[in-house]
Amino acid sequence: MVRFNAQSTMKAVVAHRYGPAEEHSIADLPVPQPGPGQIQVRIAAASINPADVRLAAGDFRDAIDLPFPHVPGNDFVGTVSDVGEGVTRYAVGDEIFGFATPRVLRHMGSSSLSTGALAEYAVFEAETPFLARRPDALDVEQAAALPTVGLTARALMASAEVKPETRVLVVGATGGVGTAVLPLLAQAGAHVVATARDADADLVRSLGAAEAVGYDDYPEGVDLALNLVLPGDRLERLVAAVRPGGTLLSITFPPPAPHDEVDVRLVLDMEGRYGGMAEVAVDALAGRLRARIAARYEFADAVRALADFAGRHKTGKLVVRVLSRS
């Protein structure tokens, strides 16, 4: 169980109530202390994911009672600064990176929970496949940007079982997951159709798309569709673009409804059955996985980073440098 040292404080991004990211602040909070089986990490950098803004915005308020103050942040890289009783996997000084969900989401079955990575310190469960040592050859910003991107791209590719000439429509191709999965699809021999703005068409083609189409110009009869951005209950048009007997894989909530003619599935790997952070590191070092970083922010601008993520178009991940490099 996480403890908090009221005698020692840290800076953290804090949501004090439900509302937009612009209402968050950087505030002083007690430093979390690791309990049995846990580690404390001095955060070097974190990257932003949809849940980091949607939870505190109240998008899941009917299902999740979010406690406040709430510190967002799932993806991180940092240095182990303390270990709890019984921890043998890591030692103080280890450089690690990974993915962990807020503790309020423990009911979803994840073994990787944290106190929030957009803070100077966070506590994580030590025994989870979603944390791993950061290889020296993997730089800090890539390590911060890769966790959710890498895990999701690997899960999508394993679930899709793409064959050469498979016609794949990717919706949300310019986001963090999209820019990572496009090269994997192209390497598998797929004919990739990616949704993109006109200004981003060259980008998605450079990442492996054979075609770039507008957000309202879905082709017909694709073998596979990947939904990386649309709400899971608004997929009627996308389902209609898939041929009978084809597949639609979605990574967004709520879970999509089943369909009589199309295999519609939510891809959510909370157990690491498609591999964890160690496997992401192997793929990154081999050049198979890379996160595209759209923008970098200093910690003083972390609230603006969250607001930008929620409200601005981006082509890749937003990374927040928590630990000063001075």
Q: Which pLDDT belongs to residue 326?
A: 38
Q: E strands, the chain, where?
A: 3-14, 25-33, 38-47, 75-83, 95-99, 101-102, 113-114, 121-125, 131-133, 167-171, 191-195, 211-213, 222-227, 242-250, 263-266, 293-298, 317-321
Question: What confidence tier does 242 reach under pLDDT thresholds 50, 70, 90?
Answer: very high
Q: What is the pLDDT of residues 273-304, one digit of tens each?
A: 999 999 999 999 999 999 999 999 999 999 99
Classified as helix, coil or strand, 204 is helix
* Predicted pLDDT at 236: 96
| 139 touches 160 (CB < 8 A) | no
| pLDDT reported for residue 252 | 93
pLDDT digits (tens, 9 = 90+) for 160-210: 989 999 999 999 999 999 999 999 999 999 999 999 999 999 999 999 999
- Per the listing, tokens 């990974």 go with 98
- In the prediction, which pLDDT does 324 show? 62
> What Rg do the C-alpha atoms of the chain give, in angstroms?
19
> Cα 117–51–149 angle (5° rounding)?
75
Nearest-angstrom CA–CA distance, 93 and 128: 19
Q: How far apart are alpha carbons 170 and 269 in whole angstroms?
A: 19
User: Is a pLDDT exceeding 90 seen at residue 62?
Assistant: no
Rounded Cα distance between 200 and 173, Å, is 10
Q: Is the pTM value of this prediction over 0.85? A: yes
Is the confidence at residue 57, as pLDDT, over 50? yes
pLDDT in tens, 217-228: 999 999 999 999
* Residues 73, 21: Cα–Cα separation, whole Å: 13
